[in-house]
Amino acid sequence: MLRLTDGEFLEFVKYMRNNYGIDLSKKRILIEGRLSNAIDKRGMSSFSQYLESVKSNSKEEITMLVNKLTTNYTYFYREESHFEYLREVILPREEKENKSKLLNIWSAGCSSGEEPYTIAMVLDDFFKIGINQWKIHINATDISEKVLSKAREGIYSQESIKKLPDSYKKRYFKKIKPDEYEVIPEIKKYIIFKEFNLMDNIIEKNKYDVVFLRNVMIYFNNEIKGHIVDKIYDATKPSGHLMIGHAEALQRDKSKYIYIKPAIYKKE
């Protein structure tokens, strides 16, 4: 296996931080393990040679690098307390107070789609037939085109959907193989999947009622994390909510969001 020199390691850390905000300063072994085989297959002899090919703005190489160095592990109904809060607190308020009937939700770092599809199912289950009166927009983004391609297909294993309520499995999936289930079109239609780097400016016509930024900030240092959260705050409607992973936390003395309960915040 190829080994990183100290200089190459620092170059990789700098490149990923400056371009994607991802902090790999403690991930030397991860970089070596995930990239050495790919570099060897390309007939390259060093990490520096590979990094130069990335810097030449080869879209294929950049995509491969991001795919390799970001972990995409998720499943349906993960951290279910967020979906319970959405169903029991946020949606009843929206049903009562939202006169425009426009609901704008962002799943940031959506990976292979389990999170935004779960959100869409919760909305469909809550509003039932009345959902046709609403304009539902779920924006699902990730920096990895590879996982977004899987998300758009909407095909998952039985293991991936096992935590969903049985009623959701029956209503929102079509079994296509013994261990493959596809999300039905009626749920897919609410979601737009697109590539997005959280380091970029957030440009949206309508601000968000809810933002799911779960298990994404673990990749960022405090400075970049604060910068990203500030941008998301500005893109959130007054009284809108931010959901983060339960292993994450905002710096309450610096964040503009109000703490509601573990991993749930609100904009005044």
pLDDT tens string 143-161: 888 889 999 999 999 999 9
Domain annotation for the chain: domains and CATH numbers:
6-69 (1.10.155), 81-266 (3.40.50.150)
Question: Using CA atoms, how far apart are residues 128 and 163, in angstroms rounded to an integer?
Answer: 21
Q: How far apart are CA 201 and CA 204, in angstroms?
A: 10
Per residue in 33-50, pLDDT (tens digit) is 888 888 888 888 899 998
User: Can you tell me the distance from the alpha carbon of 93 to that of 166, in angstroms, rounded to the nearest whole number?
Assistant: 26
pLDDT at 71: 63
Matching residue, tokens 């289930």: 181
Q: Which residue has the higher pLDDT, 255 or 171?
A: 171
User: What are the tens digits of pLDDT across the range 74-116?
Assistant: 789 989 999 999 999 999 999 999 999 999 999 999 999 999 9
Cβ-Cβ contacts under 8 Å for 105 (sequence gap 6 or more): 119, 136, 137, 138, 139, 208, 209, 210, 211, 212
- Could you tell me the pTM of the whole model? 0.84
- Residue 58 — pLDDT band, cuts 50, 70, 90? low
Dihedral of CA atoms 28, 30, 34, 40 in degrees, nearest 10, equals: 20
Supply the angle between the helices 59-69 and 145-153 in degrees, to the nearest 10.
Answer: 80
For residue range 115-147, list pLDDT tens digits in order: 999 999 999 999 999 999 999 999 999 988 888
